[in-house]
Amino acid sequence: MNDCNDVTSFPQEALPPDHRSGFVALVGKPNVGKSTLLNAWAGQKIAIVSEKPQTTRNRIRAIVTKPEAQVIFVDTPGIHEPHHKLGEFMVETATRAVPDADLVLFVADASHPPSHEDRSIAKLIAPKGATIIALNKVDLLPSAALKTRLAEYAALCEHALLMPLSATEGTGVSELMSAVIDRLPLGPRYYPEDQVTDREERFIVAELVREQVLEQLRQEVPHSVAVLVDEFKERPEKGLIYISANVFVERESQKGIIIGQAGSRLKAIGRAARQEIQHLLGCKVYLDLWVKVKKNWRKDENELRRLGYALPKKG
């Protein structure tokens, strides 16, 4: 990938001559276990950083640094039908992230046969040579059914390497990492560990809140949600970081849905997001969430820019 020319601006320790590194596009429907898999690999060695501002939403999700390799997982936004400008943008970034990557890791759920969405993802990644299909959640499948299921997914993408695993039980997880590393080119470390600036933290915090909103309201409030962090203040006297964030929706009715009965939904979203943020920042967090209506923000390019979505240039 070419946006890493500042690669060696930090001290590189002596790396083995066969050190490998590269960018892995992580694709797959929601809920197939991508986060669980990243966490299973993470241990202490993970750093979560965002991409540069111009490539908002085409962010780096996780970096796994090992003595012999550095693997940079690039999060490709979900593969959505382009109903709106934001949708078009997300499809475009997803489409761009794939050719830029050294390898595509397509995570799928073994407990179901391939769905319509799995097929569209397979179509999107088909031109890419280096592909691994990680067939997760094999623990949910009777072992007699595994062979048929593997064949169904193998048919999606003939040149892909198919690897069954269970991210929650840990089976096949390290084998998958070895297969990923084997397919990366020789190269240096692109990132030092734990390089997370304040700007990036704000952005990731907003993404973590947005993720929880989508997670907990999948059916009701599709993608009408944007999150902007308003305040991010260290309060050493209280031993915590105070974060205030606005959750923007398009309609009053969506606001009501997010807030829920007596605020119960918003509380649950805040609780889950706070846990993720505390994990990221490694300290206690007080999270203040506000839900606000911004009519048709998705159709308004200026509004999208103001909210921090870097739209592709026209022309």
Name the site residues for Mg ion (rule: CB under 5 A): 35
167 near ligand GDP, judged by CB under 6 A: yes
One of 22, 33, 172, 270 touching ligand GDP (CB under 6 A): 33
Least CB distance to ligand GDP at residue 28 (A): 6
- The distance between the two most distant Cα atoms of the chain, rounded to a whole number of Å, is 60
136, interface contact from Mg ion, ligand GDP, none, CB < 5-8 Å by kind: ligand GDP
Least CB distance to ligand GDP at residue 169 (A): 6
178 near ligand GDP, judged by CB under 6 A: no
**Complex with ligand GDP: residue 76 or 246, whichever CB lies closer:** 76
Tell me which residue has its CB nearest to ligand GDP: 33
82 near ligand GDP, judged by CB under 6 A: no
Binding residues for ligand GDP restricted to 218-277, rule: CB under 6 A: none
**Complex with Mg ion: residue 35 or 212, whichever CB lies closer:** 35
Least CB distance to ligand GDP at residue 75 (A): 10
Candidates 77-85, 147-155, 165-173, 252-260: pick the segment binding ligand GDP (CB under 6 A). 165-173
One of 1, 10, 12, 30 touching ligand GDP (CB under 6 A): 30
Least CB distance to ligand GDP at residue 300 (A): 29
Candidates 52-60, 76-84, 136-144, 262-270: pick the segment binding ligand GDP (CB under 6 A). 136-144
